[in-house]
């Protein structure tokens, strides 16, 4: 490795990131291999945007431990979804009525999870079930009144607010396929909002990004989301008012454990 680093000073950094740093040159241009890799990743990103998410399969995979339903936004086609972001923020009228029927008994929920294909249906298809399985036996969630999981086709983040309002849920977590990058076509983002209303703006949300095995892995993302959820419920806030001090808490626990062992 020392010899490789002497020949390429970027080598020590390249092993920690998928970013295109220190690319080898051929004359005054980037080498053919790297150009082909770039084109491949670009094609993967484009395909991820236009992919179809099989929500029926997801529903079948989680049916034994999480009830769910499948809805759609007002964006009928994928092209319309990309051209009209406003339609992706609104539920189809008949689907909104479906939620109102679920809520007809005047039940209030603590929490609803919304699964949205977003700009990377590939990310949801590939990673969602494995990520959700991390929450199956969570004690904190067992103490909360959970709404059925809501899957939404051709949706944006803000559509979760409409779902939460219809179900009278205190908190909504939107798990959405994130905009693909040139090294991450399959990542999921988690958006957490306390007391959501229609028209909620993004400064009232907390976001966890790049959830995927090659990014923020499922265990770390689960721990981060549960920390934010527990804090949101206890302080009744999210967004810019809810600072992520998870690392401070971990460091404090380590210090206490060291002190107790001495």
Whole-structure pTM value:
0.88
Containing domain of residue 158, as a range? Answer: 50-250
Give pLDDT tens digits for 28-83: 888 898 899 999 999 999 999 999 999 999 999 999 999 999 999 999 999 999 99
Structural domains of the chain, count? 1
Q: What percent of the chain has pLDDT over 70?
A: 90
157 is in an annotated binding site: yes
pLDDT band at 23 (very low <50, low <70, confident <90, very high): confident
207 is in an annotated binding site: yes
pLDDT at 142: 94
Structural domain includes residue 73? yes
* Diameter of the chain measured on Cα atoms: 71
Structural domain includes residue 134? yes
Structural domain includes residue 150? yes
Structural domain includes residue 256? no
Structural domain includes residue 257? no
Can you tell me the mean pLDDT for 141-148? 95
> 188-194 and 169-177 as β-strands: parallel, antiparallel, unpaired?
antiparallel
How far is C-alpha 153 from the geometric centre of its chain's CA atoms?
A: 15
Structural domain includes residue 214? yes
Give pLDDT tens digits for 163-210: 999 999 999 999 999 999 888 999 999 999 999 999 999 999 999 999
114 is in an annotated binding site: no
* Tokens matching residue 61: 């995979």
pLDDT at 255: 47
Domain containing 229 — which CATH number? 3.40.50.11240
pLDDT at 259: 54
* Tokens matching residue 126: 């590939």
pLDDT at 217: 96
Residue 143 has pLDDT above 90, yes or no: yes
Structural domain includes residue 199? yes
Structural domain includes residue 236? yes
Calpha distance 78→85 (Å, rounded): 11
Residue 135: how many other CB atoms lie within 10 Å:
19
């Amino acid at each position: 490795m020392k010899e490789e680093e002497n020949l390429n000073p970027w080598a020590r950094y390249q092993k920690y990131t998928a970013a295109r740093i220190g690319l080898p040159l051929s004359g005054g241009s980037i080498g053919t291999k790297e150009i082909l890799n770039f084109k491949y990743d670009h094609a993967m990103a484009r395909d991820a945007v236009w992919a179809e998410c099989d929500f029926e399969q997801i529903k079948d995979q989680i049916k034994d431990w999480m009830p769910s339903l499948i809805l759609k936004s007002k964006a009928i086609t994928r092209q319309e979804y990309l051209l009209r972001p406003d339609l992706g923020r609104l539920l189809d009228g008949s689907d909104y009525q479906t939620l109102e029927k679920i809520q007809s008994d005047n039940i209030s929920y603590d929490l609803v999870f919304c699964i949205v294909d977003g700009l990377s249906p590939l990310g949801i298809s590939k990673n969602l079930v494995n990520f959700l399985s991390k929450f199956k036996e969570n004690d904190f969630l067992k103490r909360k009144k959970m709404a059925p999981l809501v899957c939404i086709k051709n949706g944006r983040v803000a559509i979760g607010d409409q779902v939460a309002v219809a179900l009278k849920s205190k908190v909504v977590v939107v798990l959405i396929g994130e905009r693909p990058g040139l090294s991450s076509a399959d990542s999921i983002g988690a958006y957490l909002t306390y007391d959501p209303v229609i028209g909620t703006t993004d400064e009232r949300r907390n976001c966890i990004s790049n959830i995927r095995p090659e990014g923020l892995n499922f265990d770390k993302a689960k721990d981060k989301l549960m920390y934010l959820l527990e804090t949101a419920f206890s302080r009744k806030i999210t967004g810019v008012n809810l600072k992520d001090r998870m690392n401070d808490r971990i460091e404090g626990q380590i210090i206490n454990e060291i002190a107790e062992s001495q």
